[in-house]
Amino acid sequence: MVSPEMPCEVTKLTMRMVSLDEQAFQEFHRLYHPRLFRYAFVLSHGRSEDAHDIVRDVMLKVIRHIKPFVDEGAFWNWLTCLVKSSAIDRARKRSRWDSFFHRWIDRFSTRDARQHAAIDNGMSVELLQVALSKLPAAESTLLRSKYIDGTCVRELAHRMDVTEKAIESRLFRARNALRRELELLAEQESQS
């Protein structure tokens, strides 16, 4: 008589996680968090804060989408796919803001030399400051904290006692408002 194959440790762990066993999630965190962080650290080009955010996103995805895995290799492959997709998402978010400013500044590149000289002497920074001052105080403060002071979303959420998702939503709305103000100012500049 052939004995049935005993489930491996990963199968036992993931089955417990599927059944929402809190100790299984703690064990998962203890076993996998350091490995996931190292992998995220490499993918985020050594930015520790980004690596922490990536791993946090992965942990949330694991909680939402865990399923039983039959072996360690399949489980680790799934986890690395989650890390890669979170790292790509984070890089996209970071580049959106950068590309927004580059596009805005590039709008001035087609103007005459006098306007180029004005931009080189800080006109774009001045226009940015003016646009920020036209926003509601909460939006202006949030944008300054995030993009000028470099405060991370997690810290902003903690300071304001809201979720990180709420901060991201507020940042999205504030960036759109800033973009509209910058477009109005740029239009006014071109008419004068």
Q: Which is more confident, 57 or 98?
A: 57
Looking at residue 40, its amino acid is A
- Please name the residue that has the structure tokens 């350091």: 34
Contact 103, 158 (CB under 8 A): no
What single-letter DSSP state applies at residue 135? S
pLDDT tens profile 127-180:
778 888 899 999 988 888 887 777 888 888 988 999 989 999 998 898 888 888
Query: Which pLDDT value is given to residue 37?
Result: 94
Q: What is the DSSP string of 63-131?
A: HHH----SSHHHHHHHHHHHHHHHHHHHHHHHHHHHHHHHHHHHGGGGS-HHHHHHIIIIIHHHHHHHH
The Cα 32–Cα 165 span in angstroms is 25
Tell me the pLDDT tens digit for each residue of 100-116.
Answer: 666 655 554 444 444 44
Name the maximum alpha-carbon separation found in the chain: 92
What is the end-to-end Cα distance of the chain in Å, rounded?
92
Confidence of residue 96 (pLDDT cuts 50, 70, 90): low
- At residue 16, does pLDDT exceed 80? yes
Domains and CATH numbers, the chain: 9-92 (1.10.1740.10), 111-191 (1.10.10.10)
Backbone angles phi, psi at 120, to 5 degrees: -60, -30
